[in-house]
Structure 1
Amino acid sequence: MTPFTNRNLPKRPPHILVVGSLTPPDADDWLKGKLSELSTSVFLALERAGAEFRFVEASDAQCLPEALLHSYDGLLVLGGGDADPACYGQKPIVETIYGVNLEADRFELGLIRQSATNNIPVLGICRGMQLINIAFGGTLHQEIGSGFHNGNKDNSKMVSHEVNLFEGSRLHGIYQKNTLTIRSAHHQSVSLVGKGLVVAADAEDGTVEAIESVGSAWVLGVQWHPEDPQASQEDFDRLLATFLNSRKDSADTAQSASETCI
């Protein structure tokens, strides 16, 4: 008789926790609509990939990060408003900071740090990448100006440009090429890179476009919006597939996401 082990069980689909702040303070209806559109694009991509997921609004979380993460194989942090400079030891020095929600910042930073502690893979998009950097002790440029990385001063218009993928990086391994055409709309960027992270891609003006963890832990952040409807769906699906496949290779018996705190 064949011994009964987890190897005999079909692998369950990955359970992904998606977190973001889709209604940041002072956001107008256009921005809220855009954040909703982008998040829907992420949800559809996860469904295409066969993943199960749950979205948590960071500004209205109902439990602690360590309790919430118990049932998930990965954490995906969405884009949104700016992080409060207090989170990286600074005061606001520009007037263009928008959508600040310190409660949401603290919750998402807690999730990222707890995921790193639990060796849970983390993928961050735009604001999500910036929060990864902050969680690891890094800082941000509070204003990089308009033009190359956004279509106008209020970040309401995306632009396309190339990024350089660093050979030897996890990101380069995903795409197997040195450049990638992306869609972006951001006015802040990584300054001091967090401890245990390295730059995986940059733009022609030197702006950090991607960061990733050193060693076996799977943590990756991209400054651009791979989920934008005008971006390459193939590129986004490839990124998501690698993220989803980075979970522990086992059919575990963790309680279902629906049983975790609400």
Structure 2
Amino acid sequence: MSDPVPILVSYSSKTPRHDAAFAEELRTLAEGAAIAIAEAGLEARWVNAAAPHADARDLAATARGVIVLGGADVDPALYGATANGTWMDSADAAADTFEADLMRAAIERDLPLFTICRGTQLLNVVCGGTLIQDLGAGIHREPNQDMVTHPVDIHVGTRLAAVLGSGIRDVRSGHHQAVDALGVGLIVSATAPDGVVEAIESADDRWILGVQWHPEDAGSDPVQLRLLLADFAAAARIVLPVDDDPITAPAA
């Protein structure tokens, strides 16, 4: 078996901006991701985006791939808008800045970049796009913020379709924001029945892929995350090796 491939995984594991219930939800999702990441032969250095204690570009230089998980809503100031709701209570400027810099560094270094939920929204913003600040009532999140199951249509001819197959597939979501104007160099690779963008990816052959849903959620079909990470890992293995920094487990 080949040696584990060093990657970076970012999410806001500890921040006073998140209440206890939200922090616990993020921790649980990260634990699900951690198991699948290890099974894919990837050795993850976990970074708390809210307090990274290291420069994003320096960290990217130690990795052969980057994964950005879910978290708080992205500050609309990053795409030239004004907040229109109380949801900004959980936004974290430090996490926005760090993960945006991390994505830019990954793109510049041509590292495989996989994003989930908030990570996908921020990816779109980093590429010059905008977000819908509040989807309102619909199929994407319960009022109590629990995950919901709904179908998405994976578009033919995309990288996502090559990995998961095209057509209708059920996913688990828990979000009230979504991609609006699409970022430069990106294409839409999946949509929900209401037209909301559910996945984006690079318009060229670079491995840049973001899903709006949570394949790491315990209620999801585990095959989804295994297939996505296997394809991500295959791309990371062909990146030139780097000098590895110490690897750490997800923050509690």
TM-score for the superposition, normalised by structure 2: 0.93
Distance in structure 2 (CA, Å) of the matches to 1:115 and 1:221: 14
Q: SS in structure 2 opposite 1:211?
A: strand
Query: Where do 4+ consecutive residues of structure 1 move more than 6 Å?
Result: none
Q: Could you tell me which of 99, 105, 110 is aligned with 1:114? A: 105
**Is 1:47 matched up with 2:38?**
yes
Alignment partner, residue 103 of structure 1: 94
Q: SS in structure 1 opposite 2:243?
A: coil
Alignment partner, residue 126 of structure 1: 117
Structure 1 residues 224 and 138 mapped into 2: Cα distance closer, same or farther (>3 Å)?
A: same
1:65 maps to amino acid: A
**Does the CA contact (< 8 Å) of 2:73 and 2:87 recur in 1?**
no
Q: Could you tell me which of 173, 177, 180 is aligned with 2:169? A: 180
- CA offsets, 1:39-83, max 9 Å, x none? 011111111112111100011112222211112111000101111
Deviation of residue 162 (structure 1)?
0.4
Alignment partner, residue 7 of structure 1: none
> Percent sequence identity over matched residues?
37
**Does the CA contact (< 8 Å) of 1:85 and 1:92 recur in 2?**
yes
**Is 1:249 matched up with 2:238?**
yes
Residue correspondence of structure 1 range 73-222 to structure 2 within 5 A: 73-152=64-143, 154-155=144-145, 157-222=146-211
1:64 maps to amino acid: D
Structure 1 residues 151 and 253 mapped into 2: Cα distance closer, same or farther (>3 Å)?
A: closer
Q: SS in structure 2 opposite 1:59?
A: coil
Aligned residue pair count: 247
Distance in structure 2 (CA, Å) of the matches to 1:19 and 1:46: 13
Distance in structure 2 (CA, Å) of the matches to 1:138 and 1:84: 13
Q: SS in structure 1 opposite 2:46?
A: strand
Q: SS in structure 2 opposite 1:246?
A: helix
2:133 maps to amino acid: Q
Q: SS in structure 1 opposite 2:181?
A: coil
Deviation of residue 25 (structure 1)?
4.1
Distance in structure 1 (CA, Å) of the matches to 2:238 and 2:114: 18
- CA offsets, 1:86-128, max 9 Å, x none? 1111110223334111111011000001110000010000001
Q: SS in structure 1 opposite 2:88?
A: coil
Deviation of residue 234 (structure 1)?
1.1
Deviation of residue 248 (structure 1)?
5.0
**Is 1:227 matched up with 2:233?**
no
**Does the CA contact (< 8 Å) of 1:14 and 1:244 recur in 2?**
yes
Alignment partner, residue 38 of structure 1: 29
- Computing the radius of gyration from Cα coordinates, the structure with the larger value is 1
My pick for the range that moved more, 169-178 or 111-120, is: 169-178
Alignment partner, residue 61 of structure 1: 52
Distance in structure 1 (CA, Å) of the matches to 2:84 and 2:127: 22
Distance in structure 2 (CA, Å) of the matches to 1:21 and 1:226: 18
1:231 maps to amino acid: S
Q: SS in structure 2 opposite 1:247?
A: helix
Deviation of residue 249 (structure 1)?
2.1
Alignment partner, residue 5 of structure 1: none
Q: Which runs of 5+ in 1 are unaligned?
A: 1-9
My pick for the range that moved more, 125-134 or 58-67, is: 58-67
Aligned-residue RMSD, C-alpha: 1.6
TM-score for the superposition, normalised by structure 1: 0.90
Alignment partner, residue 6 of structure 1: none
